[in-house]
């Protein structure tokens, strides 16, 4: 890594979450620093993985519509999983 200057990254997190993460990562032989380094390197070189993606505008509109429906206790029409899948495939 000649010529590459290292930088420090820090983050605040509650102690319980940190302890649980350390325990889980240690099962895989990793420290928190190694895990963060791996993930930041992946994002830098390959972009943010899809599983971190945010829903698009259409999906968010549908979610907010359902929340409003449930808040207003409107009758919700029953739909099948296949019907829902079709909405996302359009």
Res 41: pLDDT: 95
pLDDT in tens, the chain (90 residues): 578 899 999 999 999 999 999 999 999 999 999 999 999 999 999 998 877 777 788 888 888 888 888 888 766 677 788 877 777 776
Residue that has been written with the tokens 């895990």 in this structure: 35
Is the distance from CB of 32 to CB of 9 less than 8 angstroms?
no
pTM: 0.55
> Is the C-alpha dihedral spanning 51, 53, 56, 59 positive or negative?
positive
Compute the distance between CA of residue 79 and CA of residue 90 in angstroms, rounded to an integer.
17
User: What number of residues does the chain have?
Assistant: 90
């Amino acid at each position: 890594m000649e010529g590459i200057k290292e930088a420090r990254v820090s983050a605040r997190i509650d102690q319980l979450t940190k302890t649980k993460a350390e325990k889980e990562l240690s099962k895989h032989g990793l420290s928190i620093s190694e895990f963060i380094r791996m993930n930041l390197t992946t994002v830098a070189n390959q972009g943010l993985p899809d599983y971190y993606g945010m829903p698009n505008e259409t999906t968010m509109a549908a979610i907010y519509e359902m929340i409003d429906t449930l808040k207003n206790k409107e009758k919700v029409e029953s739909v099948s999983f296949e019907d829902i899948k079709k909405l996302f495939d359009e």
